[in-house]
Amino acid sequence: MDALQQLLDNNKRWASSALKEDPDYFDRLAHQQQPDYLWIGCSDSRVPANQITGLAPGEMFVHRNIANIVHATDYNCLSVLQYAVEVLKVKHVIVCGHYGCGGVEAAMGNNENGLVDTWIRQIKETYINHQSEMNDMESHEDRHARMCELNVMAQVDNLCKTKTVQRAWSQGQELTIHGWIYSIFDGVIKDLDVDTNSLESIDPIYRLNPTK
């Protein structure tokens, strides 16, 4: 069977099954999108956001890229963030990385990987900022796992510096930024305990209005 035709056949079976379980499923889904969550995750095919969190379509707004990075000049990610916060009024933005991330692995090495090297350069800078911690670890596996965590934490920090997030907080909007990491080895998500929900967490130099 043609690989693409198999996907189309799978889709028909899924749609039929969904209607059998709930005849109003697609009608309801078509008329509203009210997610409480924005998920910023890695493009890795082993980390499907809705599936690993047990949420149905329509319950999570999703943006994914290599190594779950929030760049200050990535208008794709920033546009998704703005729409999620200002239009959908999500209450939670979750940056979720994963152990075994190939983007983090590439950033820790010196091989030439093409355009992606520019994308993941930020991770190298995070590595340098935590050089002493990295040097204290005996194995590459431990360093890699820790870098996956530190990369998530760095992206949480980057999110807090965005105008969209700061504007929401300044206006009293309920919004919390979270940092999680998923294990592809056992399927469990770990909360990195870096929840942030106010301007006070940001150095004044980055604030839109440092007096607030």
Q: Name the residues annotated as catalytic.
A: 42, 44, 46, 98, 101
Run of H or E residues at 182: strand 176-182
Q: Are 80 and 38 in contact (CB under 8 A)?
A: yes
Taking CA 19 as the corner, what is the angle to CA 17 and CA 21, rounded to the nearest 5 degrees?
A: 70
Neighbours of 168 (CB within 10 A): 21
Burial of 123 (0-12, 13-18, 19+ CB in 10 A): buried
- Which residues, 6 or more positions from 53, have their beta carbon under 8 angstroms from its beta carbon? 39, 60, 189
Task: Report CA 3 to chain centroid distance, whole Å.
Answer: 29
- The dihedral region occupied by 89, where left means phi > 0, alpha psi between -120 and 50, and beta the remainder, is left
Bridge partners of 180?
96, 191
SS3 19: helix
* Nearest-angstrom CA–CA distance, 205 and 203: 5
